[in-house]
Chains A and B, each alone.
Chain A
Amino acid sequence: MSGAFSLINMHYLLGGLVVTIVVSVISILISFVLGTLIGIILFEKVPYFTKTVRFISNTIRNLPLLLLIFFTFFALPKLGVELNAFAATVVAMSVFEASMVGEIIRGGLLSVGADQAEGALSTGMNKVQTLWHILLPQALKKSIPPLISQFISLVKDTSLATAIVLPELTFRSQVIYGQNPNYMIPMFITIAIMYFIINYGLSLLAKWFDKRMV
């Protein structure tokens, strides 16, 4: 096979897909853990600490992710933190998505209801036990559909790392159609299908959870 779909091109493109998936999975894991922590802090109202965390997470949430990616890649070296494109993408995405996840988890915790907490506390559980055994499991369950849509955004947003030359799917497709303008349309269709399959699959998963919950 030759042309846009030659073996070399396809091999190169699939390598990009792997990079996209690896970046997404690592960022999802980090942002989930960090975001749950942020959500708990926002919910529990620790004096001063909660206010600080809320200020930071609101600031990050209101900035474009692209700006954060540029910042981690180009500006952090000024502070002595040198990251390669891969690490910079993961750091920027994790921080940005964690503040989004924090907001989702906080909403989930709020929707569990005060009577659950009161009931748990009155049976003799302490605050940490109440949170860990009673509130958090219910909140996480309610948060699954919005969390999945957030992670769909995350997968799509990995394409922004093209800007700092991370060799992920979108970047590699650009390299391929850079060789020959005739490859443009096939390449766009191919990567659109690849992204679509991943994200549509995730959205079906979210719908499935949504149905089971009701």
Chain B
Amino acid sequence: MINIFLENWKTLLDGFWITILSSIVGLVGSLVLGTIFALLEMAPNKFLKFIGSAFVEFFRNIPLLVITLFFYVVVAADFHISGFWSGTIGLILYTSAFIAECIRGGVDSVDPGQMEGARANGLTYTQAMVQVVLPQGFKLAIPSLGNQFINLVKNSSILSFVAGFDLMYQANVISGENLDPFNTYIIVGIMYLIITVSVSKCMSIIESKVNGGATE
């Protein structure tokens, strides 16, 4: 098993790097987009609310593969985006719907008195939402956001469908060459575990830090 790693370490590390890169880009992108969706969903304006919910419900209920293939097959034909980007854009859109739900859940559990108090102090709805309620909701959403980040890393394997040269893609290339899928997939599995387990460890550290900072 170790032979496979020694013979292919360069390819494997390339894939490892692409998986991490796609996950980081996906994380930042979906966090931003997810927050926007969540704010739209909670907006007092009916029209904005509808747009927000429509986006979230649409991307939450169709497979990531369908979104990704759409970008790779249809959009890439006109705009020439690479496999990496069609995969990562698909990942961002898909994950942002879930992140929007997490953030909305967090904001929902913030005491309504916070909003009322902020409004009573003369803040506009947007100011009160962005400066007072959202930061608190974010804190409450951290555990469920952590789960979404782990899902994001695992879902980045979708890049292998669209020639994204990620870890899963390289695993298929290597196992196609050495005809030893058993050991190749085990090595790749360990590499995925390195990422996902460290993400979950980081999230629990952040969680305890945030909770430790609050007065109990």
Contacts and interface: CB of A to CB of B under 8 A. Distances in A.
Nearest to B150: A62
Main secondary structure of the interface of B (DSSP, over half): helix
A66 B168 contact: yes
B96 to A, nearest CB: 16
B150 A79 contact: no
Interface residues of B, number: 37
Given A71-B182, A74-B175, A159-B64, 15 more contacts: A62-B193, A62-B197, A63-B189, A65-B154, A66-B168, A74-B185, A159-B63, A160-B63, A162-B65, A162-B161, A185-B74, A188-B73, A195-B62, A200-B61, A203-B61
Given A74-B181, A188-B74, A67 B171 contact: yes
Interface of A: 59, 62-67, 70-71, 74-75, 78-79, 152, 156-160, 162-163, 170, 174, 177, 181, 184-185, 188, 191-192, 195-196, 199-200, 203
A62 B196 contact: yes
B195 to A, nearest CB: 9
B158 A66 contact: yes
Contacts, number: 101
A163 B61 contact: no
Contacts of B77: 181
Interface in B57-87: 57-58, 60-66, 69-70, 73-74, 77
Interface of B: 57-58, 60-66, 69-70, 73-74, 77, 150, 154-158, 160-161, 168, 171-172, 175, 180-182, 185, 188-189, 192-193, 196-197, 200
Given A196-B62, A200-B61, A67 B189 contact: yes
11 contacts: A59-B193, A63-B154, A65-B154, A67-B157, A74-B175, A159-B66, A160-B65, A185-B74, A192-B66, A195-B61, A199-B60
List 3 tightest A-B contacts by C-beta distance, closest first.
Answer: A199-B61, A64-B157, A159-B63
Contacts of A158: 63
A86 B79 CA distance: 36
Given A188-B70, A195-B62, A67 B182 contact: no
A75 B160 CA distance: 18
A78 B192 contact: no
Contacts of A63: 154, 189, 192-193, 196
Given A71-B185, A74-B175, A78-B182, A170 B63 contact: yes
B172 A70 contact: yes
Most buried by A among B58, B154, B192: B154
B64 A156 contact: yes
A170 B189 contact: no
